[in-house]
Amino acid sequence: MTHHHKTRTIAKDGQLLLQKMETDQVETVWDRHDAQQPQCGFCEMGVSCRICVMGPCRIDPFGEGPQQGVCGADADIIVARNLCRMIAAGAAAHSDHGRDLVDVLASVAENSAPGYEIRDTEKLCKVAAEYGIDTQGRQPAEVAGDLAYALQEEYGTRKKELSMAGRAPEKRRDLWRKLNIMPRGIDRETSEAMHRTHMGVDNGWQSLMLHSLRNALSDGWGGSMIATEVSDILFGTPKPTPTKVNTGVLKSDQVNVVVHGHNPVVSEMVMAAAQDPEMIQFAESRGAKGINLCGLCCTGNELLMRHGIPMAGNHLMTELVIATGAVDMMIVDYQCIMPSLGHVASCYHTEMISTSDKARFPGMQHMEFHPDNARKMAYDVVKRAVENYANRGSVYIPVESVDAVGGFSVEAVINALGGAPDPLLDALKAGKIRGAAGIVGCNNPKIKHDYGHVTLTKRLIENDILVLDTGCAAVANAKAGFKISDAISHAGPGLKEVCGSLGIPPVLHFGSCVDNVRILVLAAALADALGTDISDLPLAGAAPEWYSEKAVSIGAYVVASGIYTVLGPMPPIAGSMNVVDLLTRGLQGVVGATFAVEPDPEKAAGLIQSHIENQRGNLGLDVKNA
Ligand code: SF4
Ligand code: MSK
């Protein structure tokens, strides 16, 4: 059976590798998505419940069958509970990732994490000062020990508010307090979400939704913020760095090691081992020209941001990359790693290594990394990758790589602006830049791969809207060639002029999924500079191809922070018009921002443009008809 590969992805390497996998008779995520059709309509609408064993229950959306579960829960309650649990899972994932970094920071302070060190003492001291930790005349390790302790307390704090939430504009914090959604402890909010959604606890769909926002805020202004800041402290704050993207980054004459997942704790050590001259010599002794480390998904983004390590692909490319036959080893940590990968790898020569005590996968060798053994483990796995080079069969690398620039931390952006956000504000006020949009999130076989991200981005920059992107969206846009200075040729006249004079691309790579907090920090800085709240700014968010629970948490904290957000795929809420109405309209009067759902990126661009022009009008700036 021949599939229409062009309907599945816009990526050339994706189309060619899909063709190859069909010839090789290896199933992909798209085949399994087809095999699942039709997907359960009750679950799609969010009206099925298996929270307790009086059920499972489902509500008939057409009003003919049951309208209540066995316990009496109606569609509103069931939809709200399900969404609340999705957000809890997403917040837990990001925040636990942050905790793993804090553990490494604590181990570095105790000198029990060989190979890890503090690379950005300036940021260490800056964050420590936010926690009231004395930094004067003290050794970085001492400060790091105190900071790690303070950050661990954010997880189970007995304080009334997360300290990191202090980074939000004052008006926003007052609003959160008034609404009683100021996050208190990171673990507390997730734990409370699970409690509230237990049968017979919170059965108010509005109160469930409000707590969901608080839980999401504990991720955005808590767990994810900690993940990003501690990664910067340990591995360096990103600066603009050139890199290359797509499967063309694999090398036919080198040992290709691919890291996949999210946590830089593993990938940074693998990088150190792969760049060690002795290991390179070992690779040469086995007939390879060197060791080529590449990334996938967000751990790839972490390495790309800080070191310019090339990026092989995003979420839906993770199976296809293996089908090149060029990957000698794939090393995974956690999140977004399809359990199919071990099987795909068994059809080629690729060795698969799992590294986290909390993430096991079929068909992978488990070699567990901990702060105290990570350096040794990294050398062990890279050595095995080199040994596997000899087992390669035929190799098919179908495209040439594309150039990109990554590494736009807030610090780097402010630096590019000459030390303060003023030039950006001036360009906004003058209308040269109409506004900015964060395009984030995953791929999803329900949307043509990369089409959502690339189309939306193209339309926005054409219309003088600066794009900041993260995660798999950032990889899609890099592959499309939007992340080099020459990409200003795709931009509207104002954006072209501003980016041209600053020497930056019109689409700025802001990092991994947890790095969405960099966008929050920048938004807060702009709001502070204007003496206003984030919800007054000409900003928008979009997740055109999202799939994961983490993405729902991101969307919820972005909206709760005051930024209008357009989702591509519909979340499972259509079974409750009350919940839909609250999220798409009612929240405006609560947090000053709403969600919209629009799978067509051309139409999503229109929504974002009119929102941005509207916001400009409210600020008294000039307005263009969108
Ligand atoms: Fe059914 Fe209520 Fe149990 Fe859900 S919590 S499975 S609706 S009885
Ligand atoms: S990896 S959460 S598919 S962005 Fe962060 Fe990509 Fe989404 Fe995973």
- Residue 193 sits in a domain whose CATH number is 1.20.1270.30
Residues 548 and 483 in one domain: yes
Percentage above 90 pLDDT, the chain: 98
Can you tell me the distance from the alpha carbon of 235 to that of 299, in angstroms, rounded to the nearest whole number?
A: 13
DSSP 222: I
Count of other CB atoms within 10 angstroms of residue 186: 32
Q: Can you read off the two tokens belonging to residue 380?
A: 């062990």
3: pLDDT confidence band, cut at 50, 70 and 90?
Answer: low
| Ligand 2 center from residue 94 Cα (angstroms) | 11
Can you tell me the distance from the alpha carbon of 298 to that of 406, in angstroms, rounded to the nearest whole number?
A: 13
Torsion of CA 285, 286, 291, 296, to 10 degrees: -170
| Residue 441 beta carbon below 6 angstroms from any ligand 2 atom | yes
| Residue 439 beta carbon below 6 angstroms from any ligand 2 atom | no
Residues 230 and 293 in one domain: no
Distances (CA, A) of 602 to 83, 399, 445, 584, 599: 27, 28, 18, 19, 9
Helix (H, G, I), strand (E, B) or coil at 47: coil
Residues 418 and 372 in one domain: no
What is the DSSP code string of 102-170?
Answer: HHHHHHHHTT-STT-----HHHHHHHHHHTT---TT--HHHHHHHHHHHHHHHHS--SSS-SGGGGS-H
Q: Which of 43, 48, 54, 59 to mutate to test the pocket of ligand 1 (most atoms within 8 A of CB)?
A: 54
| Residue 47 beta carbon below 6 angstroms from any ligand 1 atom | no
| Ligand 2 center from residue 356 Cα (angstroms) | 18
- Per DSSP (E only), the strands in 233-390 are 241-245, 255-260, 291-296, 311-313, 329-332, 351-354, 365-366
| Residue 362 beta carbon below 6 angstroms from any ligand 1 atom | no
Q: Which secondary-structure segment (H or E) carries 57? A: strand 57-58
Task: Give the number of the ligand closest to the Cα of residue 200.
Answer: 1
Residues 201 and 252 in one domain: no
Contact (Cβ atoms closer than 8 angstroms) between residue 488 and residue 500? yes
* 38: Cβ contacts below 8 Å, ≥ 6 apart: none
Averaged over 548-571, what is the pLDDT?
Answer: 98
Q: Which of 325, 356, 391 is the endpoint of a domain?
A: 391
| Ligand 1 center from residue 72 Cα (angstroms) | 8
Averaged over 464-472, what is the pLDDT?
Answer: 98
Contact (Cβ atoms closer than 8 angstroms) between residue 205 and residue 363? no
Write the pLDDT tens digit of every residue in 59-97.
Answer: 999 999 999 999 999 999 999 999 999 999 999 999 999
| Residue 442 beta carbon below 6 angstroms from any ligand 2 atom | yes
Residues 191 and 270 in one domain: no
Contact (Cβ atoms closer than 8 angstroms) between residue 533 and residue 431? no
CA angle 563, 452, 626 (to 5 degrees): 55
Q: In the predicted model, is pLDDT for residue 125 greater than 70?
A: yes
pLDDT on residue 625: 74
Residues 447 and 542 in one domain: yes
Q: Which atom of ligand 2 is nearest to the CA of 297?
A: 1
Helix (H, G, I), strand (E, B) or coil at 9: strand
| Ligand 2 center from residue 412 Cα (angstroms) | 23
Domain assignment of residue 511, yes or no: yes
**What domain range includes position 502?**
409-618
Domain assignment of residue 213, yes or no: yes
Averaged over 553-570, what is the pLDDT?
Answer: 98
Domain assignment of residue 464, yes or no: yes
Domain assignment of residue 10, yes or no: no
| Ligand 1 center from residue 37 Cα (angstroms) | 26
Helix (H, G, I), strand (E, B) or coil at 457: helix
Residues 160 and 304 in one domain: no
Domain assignment of residue 90, yes or no: yes
Return the sign of the alpha-carbon dihedral for residues 329, 331, 335, 340: positive
Q: Which of 336, 361, 391 is the endpoint of a domain?
A: 391
- Residue 259 sits in a domain whose CATH number is 3.40.50.2030
Question: Which amino acid appears at position 175 of this protein?
Answer: L
pLDDT on residue 158: 77
Residues 466 and 505 in one domain: yes
| Residue 298 beta carbon below 6 angstroms from any ligand 2 atom | yes
| Ligand 1 center from residue 560 Cα (angstroms) | 29
pLDDT on residue 246: 98
Q: Please tell me whether the peptide bond between 38 and the residue prior to it is cis, using omega within 30 degrees of 0.
A: yes
Domain assignment of residue 1, yes or no: no
pLDDT on residue 1: 43
Percentage above 70 pLDDT, the chain: 99
| Residue 55 beta carbon below 6 angstroms from any ligand 1 atom | yes
The residue behind tokens 């916001």 is 615
Write the pLDDT tens digit of every residue in 409-467.
Answer: 999 999 999 999 999 999 999 999 999 999 999 999 999 999 999 999 999 999 999 99
Q: Which of 235, 270, 291 is the endpoint of a domain?
A: 235
| Residue 49 beta carbon below 6 angstroms from any ligand 1 atom | yes
pLDDT on residue 56: 98
| Residue 79 beta carbon below 6 angstroms from any ligand 1 atom | no
pLDDT on residue 4: 75
| Ligand 2 center from residue 288 Cα (angstroms) | 32
Residues 451 and 379 in one domain: no
Task: Give the number of the ligand closest to the Cα of residue 469.
Answer: 2
Write the pLDDT tens digit of every residue in 227-271.
Answer: 999 999 999 999 999 999 999 999 999 999 999 999 999 999 999
Of 81 and 626, the structure prediction assigns the larger pLDDT to 81
| Ligand 1 center from residue 56 Cα (angstroms) | 6
The chain-wide mean pLDDT, for the chain, equals 97
Write the pLDDT tens digit of every residue in 34-65.
Answer: 999 999 999 999 999 999 999 999 999 999 99
Largest CA distance in the chain: 73
pLDDT on residue 170: 97
Write the pLDDT tens digit of every residue in 479-502.
Answer: 999 999 999 999 999 999 999 999
Can you tell me the distance from the alpha carbon of 436 to that of 612, in angstroms, rounded to the nearest whole number?
A: 8
Q: Please tell me whether the peptide bond between 56 and the residue prior to it is cis, using omega within 30 degrees of 0.
A: yes
| Residue 297 beta carbon below 6 angstroms from any ligand 2 atom | yes
2: pLDDT confidence band, cut at 50, 70 and 90?
Answer: low
Domain assignment of residue 174, yes or no: yes
Q: Which secondary-structure segment (H or E) carries 540? A: strand 539-543
Averaged over 568-596, what is the pLDDT?
Answer: 98
Domain assignment of residue 18, yes or no: no
Residues 231 and 319 in one domain: no
Q: Supply the residue whose CA is at minimum distance from atom 7 of ligand 1.
A: 69
Can you tell me the distance from the alpha carbon of 85 to that of 476, in angstroms, rounded to the nearest whole number?
A: 29
| Residue 260 beta carbon below 6 angstroms from any ligand 2 atom | no
| Residue 52 beta carbon below 6 angstroms from any ligand 1 atom | yes
pLDDT on residue 538: 98
What is the DSSP code string of 546-599?
Answer: --SHHHHHHHHHHHHTT--EEESSPPTTTT-HHHHHIIIIITHHHHS--EEE-S
Residues 231 and 252 in one domain: no
Write the pLDDT tens digit of every residue in 277-296.
Answer: 999 999 999 999 999 999 99
pLDDT on residue 159: 84
Number of domains in the chain: 3
Can you tell me the distance from the alpha carbon of 311 to that of 467, in angstroms, rounded to the nearest whole number?
A: 20
| Residue 56 beta carbon below 6 angstroms from any ligand 1 atom | yes
Q: Which atom of ligand 1 is nearest to the CA of 200?
A: 5
Residues 354 and 488 in one domain: no
